[in-house]
Amino acid sequence: MTAARRDLSVLPAADWADGVADALAQRIEARPHLVLCLPTGSTPRPVYERLPAALSRAGAATRQASVVLLDEYLGLPAGHPVRCDAQLHRQVIKPLPEPPATFLAFDVDGPDPAAACAAYDAAIERAGGLDLVVLGLGTNGHIGMNEPGTGPDAPTRVIELAPSTIAAALAYGADPPPGHGVTLGLAGILAAREIWLLVSGERKAAILRAVLDGPVTTDVPASLLRGHPGLRIVADDDAWPG
């Protein structure tokens, strides 16, 4: 990848997804026990499509790795295709030549989502902590479901979704859309050894500028990632024309 500045790598849009998939496969090859937190959404989807081929190119095996879901909607029934656990299973887990050792998802079907959040953090800790968190970037600067106003100490928790996140869920086919979700908190994200923020497409250009060059502020939760020693932002040249 071409390092453009600081923590930023910019790839031509046509090569971006292959570049990210290869980088991910190389991480897994280097650390077979990788504890990897993954998002859903339109940004990582082309990366996930390319992952099996990238793993094969890298000679990487996933059977010892752990995959951890970044966030989840509340109120959608188990198996609903828009549920984040269903999306990640369909797009990542199922196409893998061999399943990972663990696929950790939130227990949102039980009576107490707040308790499920505490259990989630405990399970991540038992797994040895997150090695790598991969994130998409919301047009409002959110990461996971950590919406504007979220501070760096925010725990894994139940949250009220921002209108743009609700609209996105509706667009994906959740009708009626959920109003709440659970998300790995900013504290949990910042505790990871590495963070990769994936940014693609022109519609993310303005928020990427704000994340990189604007103030570090809870108004733009992704700006709080700046200063994390393991932060890497991988953009395509539609999102960062230079």
As annotated, the active-site residues are 71, 140, 142, 147
Task: Compute the distance between CA of residue 204 and CA of residue 118 in angstroms, rounded to an integer.
Answer: 32
CB of 44 to ligand PGA, least distance (A): 7
Task: Compute the distance between CA of residue 96 and CA of residue 73 in angstroms, rounded to an integer.
Answer: 24
Q: Phi-psi category of 192—alpha, beta or left, where left has phi over 0 and alpha has psi -120 to 50?
A: beta
CB of 111 to ligand PGA, least distance (A): 28
Task: Compute the distance between CA of residue 39 and CA of residue 68 in angstroms, rounded to an integer.
Answer: 9
CB of 139 to ligand PGA, least distance (A): 7
Residues 124-143 that bind ligand PGA (CB under 6 A): 136-138, 142
Number of residues that bind ligand PGA (CB under 6 A): 7
- Told to check if 167 binds ligand PGA by CB under 6 A, we report no
Q: Name the segment binding ligand PGA (CB under 6 A); options: 27-35, 41-49, 55-63, 148-156.
A: 41-49
Of residues 58 and 137, the one with the C-beta less far from ligand PGA = 137
Of residues 58 and 147, the one with the C-beta less far from ligand PGA = 147
- Told to check if 19 binds ligand PGA by CB under 6 A, we report no
End-to-end CA distance of the chain: 15
Task: Compute the distance between CA of residue 217 and CA of residue 222 in angstroms, rounded to an integer.
Answer: 9
- Told to check if 41 binds ligand PGA by CB under 6 A, we report yes
Tell me which residue has tokens 């966030």.
71
Q: Name the segment binding ligand PGA (CB under 6 A); options: 25-33, 37-45, 91-99, 212-220.
A: 37-45
Of 15, 32, 42, 125, which one interacts with ligand PGA (CB under 6 A)?
42
Of 9, 43, 66, 150, which one interacts with ligand PGA (CB under 6 A)?
43
Q: How far is CA 49 from CA 9, 17, 163, 198, in A?
A: 21, 9, 29, 15
Q: Phi-psi category of 222—alpha, beta or left, where left has phi over 0 and alpha has psi -120 to 50?
A: alpha
Tell me which residue has tokens 């979700």.
181
Site residues (CB under 6 A) for ligand PGA?
41-43, 136-138, 142
